[in-house]
Amino acid sequence: MSNALKVLLACTLLAGGCAQSVQSPQSLYAELGGQAGIDRIVDGLLWEIAEDAEIRALFADTDIQRFRNKLAEQLCAVSDGPCVYTGDSMRETHRHLAVTSAQFNRLVDDLIRVMERERIATGAQNALLQRLAAMRGDIVAE
């Protein structure tokens, strides 16, 4: 075998090996566990809200089933999943609630606790929280 052929073969093998070891980054939706993972996060968050006296009152007049469905839809959409959020705007939804920064932060803490229990990777948690943080101005009344 000629040296040129050996070099070509070696380059082909190395390039093929490298191509196989490079993985496409997962979407945030996939990192959250797809729809099943998002459903578990939402259900866990509902339990956290029910147990959290500081924020539970904000949901007193809420249709919980609709809230659950729209939150799952929103998390799916914001994480680049196949969903389209069809609910009301965050500004419209929260305009009459007078949500404080402390209440907003409590809900974020509750969400983090749920994601930790679901063993969502820290990077995926941070990515989701960053996307949701963009909505803060439409939610908090202060």
Distance CA 29, CA 32 (A): 5
Tokens 């914001």 correspond to 78
**pLDDT, averaged across the chain:** 84
Distance CA 12, CA 3 (A): 14
Residue 116 sits in a domain whose CATH number is 1.10.490.10
Q: Residue 107: which domain range?
A: 27-139
Instruction: Give me the pLDDT at residue 26, please.
Output: 85
| Residue 15 forms part of a structural domain | no
- Is the separation of the CB atoms in 74 and 131 below 8 Å? no
| Residue 87 forms part of a structural domain | yes
Q: In the numeric block, which tokens belong to residue 79?
A: 């994480």
> 70-87 pLDDT, tens per residue?
999 999 999 999 999 998
Instruction: Give me the pLDDT at residue 1, please.
Output: 53
> 101-118 pLDDT, tens per residue?
999 999 999 999 999 999
pLDDT confidence band for 91 (50 / 70 / 90): confident
| Residue 37 forms part of a structural domain | yes
| Residue 22 forms part of a structural domain | no
58: DSSP letter? G
Distance CA 91, CA 66 (A): 17
More confidently predicted of 85 and 4? 85
More confidently predicted of 3 and 32? 32
Q: Is 66 exposed, middle or buried (0-12, 13-18, 19+ CB in 10 A)?
A: exposed
| Residue 93 forms part of a structural domain | yes
- Is the separation of the CB atoms in 42 and 68 below 8 Å? yes
* Long-range pairs of 61-68 with CB within 8 A, sequence gap ≥ 24: 68/42, 68/43
Distance CA 21, CA 6 (A): 23
| Residue 16 forms part of a structural domain | no
| Residue 19 forms part of a structural domain | no
Q: Structurally, how many domains does the chain consist of? A: 1
| Residue 4 forms part of a structural domain | no
Whole-number CA gyration radius for the chain: 22
> What sign has the CA pseudo-torsion 87, 92, 96, 102?
positive
Most confident of 7-16, 47-56, 109-118: 109-118
